[in-house]
Amino acid sequence: MSLFAFLGTLEIGLIYGLVALGVFLTFRILDFPDLTVDGSFPMGGAVAATAIIAGINPWFATILAIMSGSMCGLVTAFLAVRCGILHLLASILTMIAAFSINIRIMGRPNVSLLGEPTIFTPFEQSGFDQFHVHLAVVFLLVVFSALFIIRLLTSDFGLGLRATGVNDRMVSAQGGDIGFFTYFGLALSNGFVGFAGALFAQSNSFADVTSGVGTIVVGLASVILGQTLMSSSRIWVAVLAVIVGSILYRLAVAFALSSGMFGMQASDLNLVTAALVAVALIAPKMKGKLRFKSVKG
């Protein structure tokens, strides 16, 4: 893999790290299986791209994108908490509705940002290489997001959020409002996913309505991959782990893309990616077992 491809992989891994953070919040912290992300990711891109084309400041456009993602989360929470629809189905409904809404927002299935100002533009003019600048800005934004989540989850409020996922009856008994925590958690989670969508669109110069396909799969794979390799009950380790998981997932895709030399054809990409992720999950266990055996022997 070339350095250019490696840095590109790192950048996409970091952007999808925000998706992984969102999925971590719903699946791990709130224990709410939320598929809304397949809709909120492209919505973030759609809103950011449309706003930028309309002449709105890219940073403000990104904030609008975060808000649109949060709106998706709130709709899912409303359907689940208020209307009593099973959480999985509630999120599926939001996800499929978002597809149509995204086309409405953009007016067509694909909006291009080539040649338009983005949040990266001011830094690109500083004279550094364009692609290094993208990586640096994305890295800083992801670090800030991670610090924010760590700070939030370690606060008293975050304790309530975490308790909602572990034992909601206890939270109610203590006078906590489970419904509120669910609304808040889903809005926060999908806000991060919308943020990722906005960064993806601006870094790669296009927002496409199909870019949401399989977001949840990648997010879940990143969370599980990261937490298997770096398991700890500490919040900051868990947050770091899901971002590392996302980067590892993208590295697996990048290696699968270079697998042509092993006689693989282009359409084998998903198979090779799945195999690499499986190996990454199994390998540490194998190592542990071997060590165990040798100790016994």
Partner 1 sequence: MKGLYGLKGITLFCAMALVVISTANTFAQTYKVAVSQIVEHPALDATRQGLLDGLKAKGFEEGKNLEFIYQTAQGNPAIAVQIAKQFVGESPDVLVGIATPTAQALVASTRTIPVIFTAVTDPLGAKLVKNLDKPEGNVTGLSDLAPVAQHVDLMQELVPDLKAIGVVYNPGEANAVSAIELLKSAAKKKNLKVIEATALKSSDVQGAARIIASKVQVIYAPVDNTIASAIDALVGVCNQAKIPVVGGSTSFVESGAVASLGFDYYQVGIQTADYVEAVLKGKAISEIPVSFAKGSDLFLNLEAAESLGITIPESMLQRATNLNK
| Token duo for residue 243 | 């971002």
Options 55, 84, 115, 297; binder of partner 1; rule CB under 8 A? 115
- Cα(286)–Cα(290) distance, integer angstroms: 6
Options 54, 261, 266, 295; binder of partner 1; rule CB under 8 A? 266
Question: Pairing relation of β-strands 110-112 and 206-208?
Answer: antiparallel
Sign, CA torsion 179/191/229/281:
positive
Closer Cβ to partner 1, 4 or 262, answer by number: 4
Interface with partner 1, residue 12, by CB under 8 A: yes
Q: How far is the CB of 184 from partner 1 (least distance, A)?
A: 28
Taking alpha carbons only, the member of 140, 138, 184 closest to residue 161 is 184
Options 25, 113, 244, 280; binder of partner 1; rule CB under 8 A? 113
Phi and psi, residue 280, nearest 5°: -60, -30
Q: Which helix (H) or strand (E) holds 206?
A: strand 206-208
Size of the site for partner 1 (CB under 8 A): 42
Region 208-237 residues binding partner 1, contact defined as CB under 8 A: 208, 210-211, 213-214, 218
Q: How many angstroms separate the Cα of 150 from the Cα of each of 75, 95, 142, 196?
A: 25, 27, 12, 18
| Token duo for residue 19 | 């998706």
Query: Binding segment for partner 1 among 2-10, 56-64, 69-77, 153-161 (CB under 8 A)?
Result: 2-10
Q: How far is the CB of 253 from partner 1 (least distance, A)?
A: 6
Binding site for partner 1 (CB under 8 A): 1-9, 12, 16, 108-110, 112-116, 130-131, 200, 203-206, 208, 210-211, 213-214, 218, 250, 253-254, 257-258, 260, 266-267, 269-270
